[in-house]
Each structure stands twice: as structure tokens, then as C-alpha cells.
Amino acid sequence: MPKGVPVSVPDDGLTTRQRRNAPVLGVHTGDGKGKSTAAFGMAMRAWNAGLNVAVFQFVKSAKWRVGEEAALTALGDVHEATGAGGPVSWFKMGSGWSWLRANSADADDHAAAAREGWAEIARRLQAQEHDFYVLDEFTYPLDWGWLDVSEVVHTLRERPGRQHVIVTGRRAPQELIDAADLVTEMVKVKHPMDAGRKGQKGIEW
Amino acid sequence: MPKGVPVSVPDDGLTTRQRRNAPVLGVHTGDGKGKSTAAFGMAMRAWNAGLNVAVFQFVKSAKWRVGEEAALTALGDVHEATGAGGPVSWFKMGSGWSWLRANSADADDHAAAAREGWAEIARRLQAQEHDFYVLDEFTYPLDWGWLDVSEVVHTLRERPGRQHVIVTGRRAPQELIDAADLVTEMVKVKHPMDAGRKGQKGIEW
């Protein structure tokens, strides 16, 4: 199949231009590596296209994603300094979410933090504040029952305008997969930790 | 499994530190999206760790990878201007490979270009010129028989020092998978083109 040529054209009443410009809801799931990394790689591409990029991290890890955050934030700085690319915002769940700090009674309640975080994203989607959203490891609060999957999927489906959203994490709920336009499963074939290796800077974070 | 804790420790005579610092040979294969994108996301991480990053593109597409190239090159510029992160080099096969231009009789011979490109990479590996290599869509010249898989795998296995190499593309040869430390298969679950959509800027390139 030649690149860029669709296999079939659906009877959806859209012009090619409308279809081409349809915002993408993507899901990177599976047990293999590369789910978040590929989302951040897409964010680079979105940055270059001048899109307003926002990353929302939903699971706190020891190292967060310091490499990706530093690189994407540096690209946001390039945008501010030179106008190249687009702006980049980076938000962390929990203590990293500034709008939760004010509400510190909930600070240690991860489920409540996830709900408040999602509410903020839903608000931003409604206000069309960004063009390209990475909801990093967002499947976990869905899988753990912290968020209502149907409400989340409905909000994502009905988001206004032309906002791309990429969701990453294992065990993506079927309802989310059904709603998505682009779903890739990252399957682990082999991992260095299987051979007793530990993570290392520049590779794992 | 807690993050960062290996399942088992192999009897390989290495200290934990040696094992932790072992250079990674990674392969991103499969028919799904995200193979190259995840490699470029890893390159961001490597950049942040101050590693010398080099990308080698083996298949020319209409759009190349303009977004990733612009973003990673911008990060390389940030390194030159501020010292943050590491240097970034980006090389394209064929007309983009400056050492082939001088040898223009072969310019249209893709197989010869792939062989010369690989010879250049092998030379750089031997000289330890970079710390983190992305061999983008390098599986194709292997799959097409343009390169000797055994020779390539031997060179990658025996590369000196601490050089990470990530190879992307469909149909990775088994011999390469056997030699790799980290192998992820990207499996297509759903793709926008299945619904008659075309690629769009900021998403596909």
C-alpha cells in the first residue's frame, strides 16, 4: 500500500480534507516498552507542526520521566525564544499539580488526585486550551476504577475542535479502545531486566 | 514487579554496576505504529542524559521524518548554545549522506547506498563516535538482502565501549532479535487509515 493512500474511503459524508483533519484519539497499550516513549516522540512531531502540546503524567515513578520532560520543556523554551515549533506544558499528578496544592487535604489521596486531574483535563479539552495532549499512564486510574470509564470516553469522544489526544498505559479499557482512532499494542519480546539488568540513565529515564 | 528490580540475577560474572552499564541493543519491530517514534523518544531521553545521539535514516519517505528531525536537531542546537543535554547528528540515506555525494555513480543504487551507509555506521561504532544510535528502518535493507545479516549482527554484538543502538522497522531478522537485549513488537490494533483517513501534519510527520 503506497504511503498516505487509504485502503477504502468510508461513506461518512466527510470530505477528504475534513477526514484528513479529524483529530486523533490514540491509545498505546500492552506490556511492552515504548508506549509512553512513542507518545513523547509524537509530541516532538506535534511541536514541530506548531501545535500546543500538553503532557499530563498520571503515575508517579521514582524518576518521573526526567529525560522526556527536560527535552520537551527545552523545545517549549525554543518556541518561546525563537517562535519555532509550539508551546509545551508539562503537568504531574499529585504534588506536581499546582491546582491540587491549594487543596492539600486531598494531596495524599491518589484517587481523588486522579479525579481532580481528569477534571482539569476535561476543562482544558472543553476550553480547547491545547492541540496535542499526552495522557501518560492514564489507563491505570481507569483500570483501577478511580475514574468512570464511560464518562471519560464520552468526554474524549465529544471533545470540541481539533484536539489530538494520546493515552498510554497497560490494560486500556475496551471502551476506550473502541472509541480510539489509532491503537497500538506494544508487546514485550525481550527486556534487559529479564537478563538481570537494571534500568540506566539515558535508556530507562 | 517493583520497578528497577531484576527478576533474576544471571550468573554472568558481571557486577551489578557492570550489568547496569551494559550498552543496550534494542529492536522495535512489528506492523504497528510507534517503532520509530519510540526510538526518537528514547533519543530525547539520551539527549537529556548528555549522550551523543546520532540518527541514521535508511528509508526515504516523501516526508522523511521532518518533525522528529527538526525537534532533535533543535535539541542539538540547545546543547551547542547552553551545554544542556548532548549533541545530535542526523544522517539520511542516499542523497542525504554526504559521503555518498562524492561517489555519485552509486547515488541511485539504493542497495549500494545502504551498504555504504552501513559501512559508515560500522566505522563510527568502531571509533565510538556516538553514544546512542538510532538505525531507523534499518531492518528493510536487512530483510531485502542488501546487507549481510550475520555480518551486521556480528558488528553490533562486538561493538566496543558503551554504545546504545536502537534498530527500527518491520520484519526484524531473527538473528538480530536473538542478539538484542530489548525487543518490542508494535502490533497494530487499529489505524486511522483503516477508516479512510489520511496522514496529517503533527501526527504522521
Question: What is the model's pLDDT at position A120?
Answer: 94
Quickly state the pLDDT bin for A66 (edges 50, 70, 90).
Answer: confident
Mutation target vs A (from B1, B25, B203; most A CBs, 10 A cutoff): B203
Where is average pLDDT lowest: A65-74, B25-34, B61-70, B96-105? B96-105
Question: What is the model's pLDDT at position B205?
Answer: 66
Report how far residue A103's alpha carbon sits from residue A101's, in angstroms, rounded to the nearest whole number. 5
Count of CB atoms situated within 10 Å of the CB of B116: 18
Contact call for A12 and B62, based on CB within 8 A: no
Residues 60-99 of B with CB under 8 A from A: 61-62, 66-68, 70-72, 74-75, 77-78, 84-85
Q: What does the mean pLDDT of chain B come to?
A: 84
Report whether B43 contacts B79 (CB < 8 A).
Answer: no
Report whether B46 contacts A199 (CB < 8 A).
Answer: no
Count of CB atoms situated within 10 Å of the CB of B68: 28
Q: What does the mean pLDDT of chain A come to?
A: 84
Measure A49 CA to nearest chain B CA, in Å: 5
Residue-wise pLDDT tens digits, A104-130: 454 446 788 888 899 999 999 999 999
Contact call for B24 and A192, based on CB within 8 A: yes
Report whether A72 contacts A55 (CB < 8 A).
Answer: yes
Compute CA distances A164 → A136, A153, A180, B121, B191, whole Å: 14, 14, 11, 36, 14
Report whether A41 contacts B68 (CB < 8 A).
Answer: yes
Question: Residues 6 or more apart from B202 whose CB is under 8 A from it?
Answer: A45, A46, A48, A49, A50, A51, A131, A132, A164, B67
* Contact status of B47 with chain A (Cβ, < 8 Å): yes
Fold assignment, B40-186: Rossmann fold (3.40.50)
Nearest chain B alpha carbon to A41:
B41
Report whether B160 contacts B128 (CB < 8 A).
Answer: yes
Compute CA distances A24 → B32, B193, B195, whole Å: 16, 11, 12
B61 chain-A contacts, CB cut-off 8 A: 3
Q: Which residue type, as a one-letter code, is found at position B59?
A: V
Residues 142-161 of B with CB under 8 A from A: none
Question: What is the model's pLDDT at position B107?
Answer: 41
Nearest to B187 among A49, A70, A184 (CB): A184
Is residue A4 scored above 60 in pLDDT? no
Contact call for A75 and B75, based on CB within 8 A: yes
Quickly state the pLDDT bin for B101 (edges 50, 70, 90).
Answer: very low
Question: What is the model's pLDDT at position A100?
Answer: 44
Nearest chain B alpha carbon to A65:
B45
Question: What is the model's pLDDT at position A98?
Answer: 42
Question: What is the model's pLDDT at position B106?
Answer: 45
Percent of chain B with pLDDT over 90: 60
Q: Is CATH 3.40.50.300 correct for A21-195?
A: yes
Average pLDDT over residues A153-162: 97
Mutation target vs B (from A8, A11, A42; most B CBs, 10 A cutoff): A42
Is residue B3 scored above 60 in pLDDT? no
Residue-wise pLDDT tens digits, A21-49: 689 999 999 999 999 999 999 999 999 99
Domain boundaries, chain B: 40-186
Contact call for B41 and A36, based on CB within 8 A: yes
Report whether A65 contacts A40 (CB < 8 A).
Answer: yes
Is residue B7 scored above 60 in pLDDT? no
